Amino acid sequence: MYRTCARALYAAIAAALLVPGVAAARIIEMGDVTSTTKPSCPTSPCEVISRTTAYQAHVAGVGELYVVPRDGRLVAWTITLGTPGRRQRTFFDENLGGAAQAGITVLKQGDRAYRRVTAASPLVTLRPYFGQTVQFPLATSLPVEKGNVIALTVPTWAPALSLGLKRNSTWRASRAKDACDDTQTQSAQTGSRTLTQYRCNYRTARLTYSATMITTPVANEPAPQR
């Protein structure tokens, strides 16, 4: 499904950009998930991201992979999912609020690690896609501004956490500083315009998601008059 949707999406965008007279725009994949980035499940431990909104701060020491480089609109998001076993699924469902779900969220950055929600996609039920890399085109694209952060919102749980990386791979979550180990209390930013601090920084792991955006077209400079 990922390849099919991706090809159709990119073909449609490319066709639109080839129309004569269309101002230049760019297609950007933020946080591209490679084939070597695999979620932990079903291996032991089967660790998942749960009940929070989170974003990848660094991947192998490289930062700002999920920071919007230019104004534009999000048109799709992608997630790579593990395959938890039956007992693991039952445990997570019973202890983390229900069936696996996730969505993409746009955050405006502020001082002291504050982040405010400016836009969010609908939540998607993930179980049908366990073991796959799946791309979800957005029926309604989301506006983004330069400097925004693209995060993953998981109100229940999602097997989308790759473990065993070096300490220079880090991700942040919308939890209080004294609650970083509390993975069961709800901290996901699911409301419009909600504001919270991202005080928890986790090392040696990566969230396996990415987002596709189209930048706002830039008009050509007018030719000088003679």
What is the C-alpha separation between 171 and 72, in angstroms, rounded? 24
Sequence letter at residue 99: A
Residue 130 has pLDDT above 60, yes or no: yes
Overall average pLDDT of the 27-39 stretch = 82
Length of the chain: 226
Joined tokens for residue 61? 């020491």
> Residue 85: which residues within 8 A CB-CB, separation 6 or more?
41, 42, 46
pLDDT in tens, 82-122: 999 999 999 999 999 999 999 999 999 999 889 999 999 99
What is the C-alpha separation between 34 and 182, in angstroms, rounded? 29
First CA to last CA across the chain, in angstroms?
Answer: 54
| Burial 49-68, CB ≥16 within 10 A → b, else e | bbbbbbbbbbbeeeeebbbb
pTM as predicted: 0.86
What is the C-alpha separation between 86 and 7, in angstroms, rounded? 33
Tell me what pLDDT residue 32 has: 79
Question: Please, how many CA atoms are within 13 Å of residue 163, restricted to the half-sphere of its CB?
Answer: 12
What is the C-alpha separation between 24 and 91, in angstroms, rounded? 49
Overall average pLDDT of the 12-26 stretch = 60
